[in-house]
Amino acid sequence: MEQCEQQKLSLFPEATFDQLIALKNISERLTVRSSSRLVRGWNISINRVTGRRTLTIPMFLINAPVPVKMALIAWALLPIDKKRSRSKEEQQRRRHIEEYIYSHLSERGLLKPSISRIDREKLSHKTAGNKFDLKEIYTRINASYFDNKIKAYLRWGTPGSTTSYQTVRRSKDGSCWNLITIADIYNHPRIPLFAIESVMFHEMLHIAIPPYRKNGKNVIHGKEFKAAEKLFPHFEQWRAWENNDLKLILKEMRRRKKNLFF
Ligand SMILES: [Zn+2]
């Protein structure tokens, strides 16, 4: 297995940060470096004289897939200013990029609980979507398949987001809580009930069957997870629908709004 992976890498090398930066012609403006002291987030520093930026990322992001690298580069180039003076559009773009990176980290179990400033009380009033209310879907799935044992807060992803994910958040007092983010694409009026139920079931299952470590790797969608997921009555239908109908909706969304960063 390991050998196969290495071979694959040398045949189709993933572009490095330096290569991507050169490709975008921004070598003068941005340098990316990694730090073993960073375990969670990433940060930006700027040379006030030259205006040159340095993005510092944790070691494990050095070999991130190209779209994640592109997202980090886009994030590093965002205007540096006071939080309060940011326009709504700017804030949204920043959130969209951060959410994309977080969803990548979360799917790989690389996200350690960070102190969250999210107001949970506010979240619980914003679950209603264009067609479905997340709270209703969640409550029904919880009763039917999880014996009402799952405890999670819910929210819709940022406009244009396509990845759903589940994370563990930590409050100031140290207590942990689950947050399920359902991608904005699932808020489209043409989304069928079985699809939103399936994606909700998938994210709730991550709470019921948490990731574990095996041979130094995080197992997220392990054997138990996959077996349990197949027990959901709409699983096959959902997978087929994702490959056909969802792709059409995505195309439509992208045509209408070009707010993607790569
Ligand atoms: Zn998953």
- Find the 202 Cα to ligand 1 centroid distance in Å: 6
Is the pLDDT at 157 greater than 60? The verdict is: yes
Is the pLDDT at 10 greater than 60? The verdict is no
CA atoms within 13 A on the CB side of 161: 26
Tell me whether the CATH fold assigned to 13-107 matches the one assigned to 120-256: yes
The mean pLDDT value for 34-57 works out to: 88
pLDDT(205) > 70? yes
Q: How far apart are CA 220 and CA 213, in angstroms?
A: 9
Query: pLDDT tens-digit profile of 177-194?
Result: 899 999 999 999 999 999
CA of 229 to the centre of ligand 1 (A): 10
Residue 200 above 90 pLDDT? yes
User: What number of other Cβ atoms are within 10 A of residue 104's Cβ?
Assistant: 20
Q: Is 146 helix (H, G, I), strand (E, B) or coil?
A: coil
Rounded to 5 degrees, what are φ and ψ at 67?
-60, -35
Going 134 to 262 to 105 to 38, the CA torsion angle's sign is negative
pTM to 2 decimal places: 0.70
CATH class, domain 120-256, is: alpha beta
Query: Would you state the pLDDT for residue 86?
Result: 74
Domain boundaries, the chain: 13-107, 120-256
Side-chain-side CA neighbours of 238 within 13 Å: the count stands at: 18
**Which CATH fold topology does 13-107 show?**
Zincin-like (3.30.2010)
For residue 221, report the distance from its CA to the centre of ligand 1, in Å. 6
Q: How high does pLDDT run on average in the chain?
A: 85
Q: How far is the CA of 206 from the centre of ligand 1 (A)?
A: 7
Q: What is the DSSP string of 56-81?
A: EEEGGGTT--HHHHHHHHHHHTS---
Question: Mapping DSSP to helix (H, G, I), strand (E, B) and coil, where does residue 259 land?
Answer: coil
Question: Does 260 score more than 70 pLDDT?
Answer: no
- H-only helix segments in the chain: 2-11, 17-23, 66-76, 88-107, 120-123, 134-145, 193-208, 223-230, 235-243, 245-256
| Number of residues assigned to the chain | 262
Q: What's the CA-to-centroid distance between 102 and ligand 1, angstroms?
A: 13
Residue range 2-9: mean pLDDT, rounded: 34
**In this model, does residue 7 exceed pLDDT 70?**
no
Distance 103 CA to ligand 1 centre (A): 10
